[in-house]
Amino acid sequence: MAPSALPPPQNPSWHLDVPHGRILVFAPHPDDEIAGPGGCLALHRRANDMVRVIVVSSGTAGDPEARFDAATYAELRRTESRAGLRELGVDDAVYWGLPDNCVLSEQDLELGRQLAANAIAEFRPDVIYLPWEREGHPDHHALYLIVLAAMQRVQFAGEALGYEVWNAMVPDVVVDITSTADAKRRAIRAHASQTVYTDFEHTILGLNAYRSMVHARGKGYCEAFRRVPGIRTP
């Protein structure tokens, strides 16, 4: 007997603007805040939304060939992150400096949940950006689980949007970022310690161009998101 066919997914809703308010972003590594929702962050800042970015790890695992000085590499990653965010108009960034690319114990996860819950309670965001639930990189997936638990712990009642970096999603929402794509491109270029290994300008902007296909007939750039299950969203 042939298996029953699954219905095709619905087309994502298309937005020409972002949801406004106080914006909190959780990024696993320095540069994910740009690669994922960077275009939307620039739109938020153009509207004078308050934006705070929390970069969870130091990013010290991002130099597998030891091309840079290990003693100053973590600070280099932070400097690049700040420079990239300035291209988007963001000047509020917090760096937790936790280890990356390692196996997390339950104690590690609970520390992350506590830090994330405190950050949400302190900043009182209306919108939270976090990695989407099926990101393949283990640091990204762990951060999704951490932030999801933290949102539940503090009974967050705003909008939570998962962004894509390593794994493309079937999105619920796409946002047109054509007007901020050049700023996102410059922000990616600020991360020279990473683009020396991978052409993120080509891959990430290529993904954003692809996301314009359904609604904009392949013109311009869009960022895609999935609404986080279990969290109230419009």
The verdict on residue 52 lying in a domain is yes
- CATH number of domain containing 206: 3.40.50.10320
The whole domain housing 39 covers 14-60+72-227
Q: What is the pLDDT of residue 161?
A: 98
Residue 160 CB partners (closer than 8 Å, separation 6+): 127, 128, 129, 130, 151, 227, 228, 231, 233
The verdict on residue 113 lying in a domain is yes
The verdict on residue 8 lying in a domain is no
Q: What is the pTM of this model?
A: 0.94
The verdict on residue 1 lying in a domain is no
> For 92-148, what is each residue's pLDDT tens digit?
999 999 989 887 889 989 999 999 999 999 999 999 999 999 999 999 999 999 999
The verdict on residue 176 lying in a domain is yes
> For 193-213, what is each residue's pLDDT tens digit?
999 999 999 999 999 999 999
Beta-carbon-side half-sphere exposure of residue 170 (alpha carbons within 13 Å) = 4
The verdict on residue 6 lying in a domain is no
Q: Over the chain, what is the mean pLDDT?
A: 94
When divided into structural domains, the chain yields a total of: 1
